[in-house]
Chain A
Amino acid sequence: GNSVTQMEGPVTLSEEAFLTINCTYTATGYPSLFWYVQYPGEGLQLLLKATKADDKGSNKGFEATYRKETTSFHLEKGSVQVSDSAVYFCALEGQGGSEKLVFGKGMKLTVNP
């Protein structure tokens, strides 16, 4: 079945540091890939997505590229801010739009000033 493996934390960075959160997946065909973010006390929010190979999703300075050859969707940000402190989840939806999301375990990021 479909599965997602992502970096586990927690991770602590200083403000303006570079961030990479690795995410790899196992799925048949061409799934859609997502990064969700959960700020303290709030629900998960869609951060970015990519629906086909080589697509790049981007939002709020975060980027992730759908790499079919390496089955990866790594999240990057060049300069993190304190406000980026949150839990980040990588997820996929199977090809054909089944609407079922499969999540990674999530990674807690803390950014210190």
Chain B
Amino acid sequence: GAVVSQHPSWVICKSGTSVKIECRSLDFQATTMFWYRQFPKQSLMLMATSNEGSKATYEQGVEKDKFLINHASLTLSTLTVTSAHPEDSSFYICSARQVMFYEQYFGPGTRLTVT
């Protein structure tokens, strides 16, 4: 149980285009989902926290107009990287927390490459 999936697992896009990454909790309802970014040989850095039905809370330094987060249901959150640039190339990881539970469950990540 407590499986989180991400789609796609790997995406290449051209500079200036937008790309959407989906995060789904497959067998539980997630009131809170988190989006992280990981650069090679670096830590996971929290980008934003999203609660179902409300606006996401972004960490300092993260551009909310560039990284659009939608958490429209208890099983789905999406991250849209708008007008992507090569410096947005990274590994994006989501996690989800069950209602009334403490632990975060992580997705396998999405590798974004912007050319």
Tell me the A residues contacting B by CB distance below 8 Å: 4, 8, 36, 38, 41-46, 89, 97, 99-106
Residues on the A chain within 8 Å of B44, using CB: 44, 89, 101, 103
* Contact A42 B108, beta carbon cutoff 8 Å: yes
Q: Which of A8, A41, A43, A89 contacts B4 (CB 8 A)?
A: A43
* Contact B109 A106, beta carbon cutoff 8 Å: no
Q: Shortest beta-carbon distance, A59 to chain B, in Å?
A: 13
**Does B58 make an interface contact (CB < 8 A)?**
no
Q: Which of B43, B97, B102, B103 contacts A103 (CB 8 A)?
A: B43
**Within the assembled complex, what's the spacing in Å between the Cα atoms of A99 and B33?**
11
**Within the assembled complex, what's the spacing in Å between the Cα atoms of A101 and B103?**
11
User: What is the number of residues of chain B that contact chain A, defined by CB distance less than 8 Å?
Assistant: 21
Tell me whether chain A's interface is mostly helix, strand or loop, or mixed. Answer: loop
* Contact B46 A101, beta carbon cutoff 8 Å: yes
Question: Which chain A residue lies CB-closest to B5?
Answer: A43
Q: What 7 pairs across the A-B complex have the smallest Cβ distances?
A: A43-B106, A44-B106, A103-B43, A103-B44, A43-B108, A43-B107, A105-B43
Tell me whether chain B's interface is mostly helix, strand or loop, or mixed. Answer: strand
Residues on the B chain within 8 Å of A99, using CB: 32, 34, 49, 97, 104
Count of chain A to chain B residue pairs whose CB atoms are closer than 8 Å in the complex? 45
Residues on the B chain within 8 Å of A36, using CB: 106
Report 7 cross-chain contacts, Cβ distance below 8 Å, ordered by A residue.
A36-B106, A41-B108, A42-B108, A97-B102, A99-B49, A99-B97, A100-B49
Residues on the B chain within 8 Å of A46, using CB: 103-104
Q: Shortest beta-carbon distance, B30 to chain A, in Å?
A: 13
Residues on the A chain within 8 Å of B106, using CB: 36, 38, 43-45
**What 0/1 pattern do residues 5 to 43 of B give for CB contact below 8 A with A?**
000000000000000000000000000101000000111
Residues on the A chain within 8 Å of B4, using CB: 43
**Within the assembled complex, what's the spacing in Å between the Cα atoms of A100 and B44?**
11
Question: Which chain B residue lies CB-closest to A98?
Answer: B49
Residues on the A chain within 8 Å of B104, using CB: 46, 99, 101
Q: Which of B42, B43, B93 contacts A43 (CB 8 A)?
A: B93
